[in-house]
Amino acid sequence: MSDQKSLLQLEGVCKSFGPNLVAAEVSFSLEKGEIGCLLGPSGCGKTTLLRVVAGFESIDQGRVIIDGTTVSTATSHLAPEKRTIGMVFQDYALFPHLSVADNVAFGIRNRPGRQRRRKVAELLELVGLAGQSGRYPHEISGGQQQRVALARALAPEPELLLLDEPFSNLDALLRERLTVEVRDILKSLQTTALLVTHNQHEAFSVADSIGVMFAGAIQQWDRAHDIYHRPASLAVATFVGDGTLISGTVEGPGTVRCGLGVLRGDLSLPCSSGSGVDLLLRPEDVLHVEDAEIQARVVHKSFRGPTILYQLELTSGEQCQALVSSHHNHGIGQWIGIVAEVDNLVIFPQEPA
């Protein structure tokens, strides 16, 4: 039974290419107006899954449902052009011989002329290209081409918009700005969207819900805050954000002893006293305090302008990271004082020796 509040649902979707399983019983849903993201390394199956939703690929098992209508099963398949979707490709796929306005109008070329021109004008205004309608793709920048591709995909007013690595061809500063702009545009139109990316900063900037994928399976489908602060698996913890694992021992409810002393907070997993665990420490969990009891040796540093990311070695030989104001510029080999300040203790049971 499908959820009537959901615009997109995947239920136990499996997809193989010959002997290679690229989607393994994938299930998730997007509510109307929600922006979702499939985040993972290259080759994890996220683009294939997007193509399954678009209708470019069939499935071996499960169901794909768009706005209450089943569009894919193992035995039935609705063609892409009959699905109420729009798509923005990685390379934008603009028509080089058409102007900006004609590219945007392509998907609504059967509408009456006045209605079509009004829609194109509205969308070009929305994406900040009102003065560029007569130019051609080769005459505008990559960021502008990306906006044209977005406007073209939005013109037919799709129920679902799919975006396949849409920012990957842009430089870092432009990419960061456009991710925020695209999110604002989609939210203003209340468009349901699914984004594919390997860039976690893009995922965090754009998406309401994120599915972290490895080897064809979604390890965790959650809000960005929870994926970062409450990763469901060791694989998610090490893939998302900076951080290191140090060994510790649970000493009681909400208490772990490790190389940074006795830490207290909410444990991410129930563990009995005496259990050996690996504790995830993010760089922002480790504070630099000159006269702290615990000292660590600087083994590597990465200058980031306002901050420096230090790789530190504890007396135990384990390492952690600390994000410190760049006013504190310590040299390699120098010993500095550190204190762990963490409320949520993200732990993973250690494998028996």
- Of 183, 216, 238, which marks where a domain is finished? 238
Asked if residue 189 is part of any domain, the answer here is yes
- Which pLDDT value is given to residue 93? 87
Residue 127 and residue 186 in one domain: yes
| Per-chain mean pLDDT for the chain | 93
Total Cβ atoms within 10 A of residue 337: 14
Query: 248: buried, middle or exposed (CB in 10 Å: 19+, 13-18, 0-12)?
Result: buried
Does any domain span residue 142?
yes
Cα–Cα distance between 288 and 309 in angstroms, integer? 11
Range of the domain at 28: 6-238
pLDDT cut 90: percent of the chain above it: 83
Q: Quick one: pLDDT band at residue 1, thresholds 50, 70, 90?
A: very low
Q: What CATH number is attached to the domain comprising 314?
A: 2.40.50.140
Please tell me whether residues 29 and 174 are part of one structural domain: yes
Residue 3: count other Cβ atoms within 10 Å of its Cβ.
11
Does 201 share its domain with 285? Answer: no
Amino acid occupying residue 238: T
Asked if 99 and 178 sit in the same domain, the reply is yes
DSSP sequence for 108-119:
GTTS-HHHHHHH
13-62: pLDDT as tens digits: 999 999 999 999 999 999 999 999 999 999 999 999 999 999 999 999 99
CB 36, CB 207: distance < 8 Å: yes
3-state SS, residue 241? coil
- Check whether 232 has a pLDDT greater than 80: yes
Q: In which band, very low, low, confident or very high, does the pLDDT at 259 lie, cut at 50, 70 and 90?
A: very high
Question: Is 1 a member of any domain?
Answer: no
Mean pLDDT value of segment 321-341:
95
Share of the chain above pLDDT 70, in %: 98
Answer yes or no: do 181 and 62 share one domain: yes
68 and 146 within one domain:
yes
**Cα-based torsion angle of the residue sequence 108, 112, 118, 124 in order, rounded to the nearest 10 degrees:** 20
DSSP annotation of 44 reads: S
Question: How do beta strands 160-164 and 192-197 pair?
Answer: parallel
The verdict on 165 and 247 lying in the same domain is: no
In terms of domains, do 204 and 289 share one?
no
Run of H or E including 123: helix 113-126
Q: For 197-209, what is each residue's pLDDT tens digit? A: 999 999 999 999 9
> Do 136 and 222 lie in a common domain?
yes
Shared domain check, 230 and 247:
no
Structure tokens belonging to residue 131: 């003065």
Residues 6+ apart with CB under 8 A from 329: 308
pLDDT at 4: 56
Do residues 89 and 233 share a domain?
A: yes
Q: How confident is the model at residue 92 (pLDDT cuts 50, 70, 90)?
A: confident
Our count of domains for the chain comes to 2
Say yes or no: 294 and 263 in one domain. yes
Among 171, 204, 238, identify where a domain stops: 238
What's the average model confidence in pLDDT over 153-166?
94
What CATH number does residue 205 fall under?
Answer: 3.40.50.300
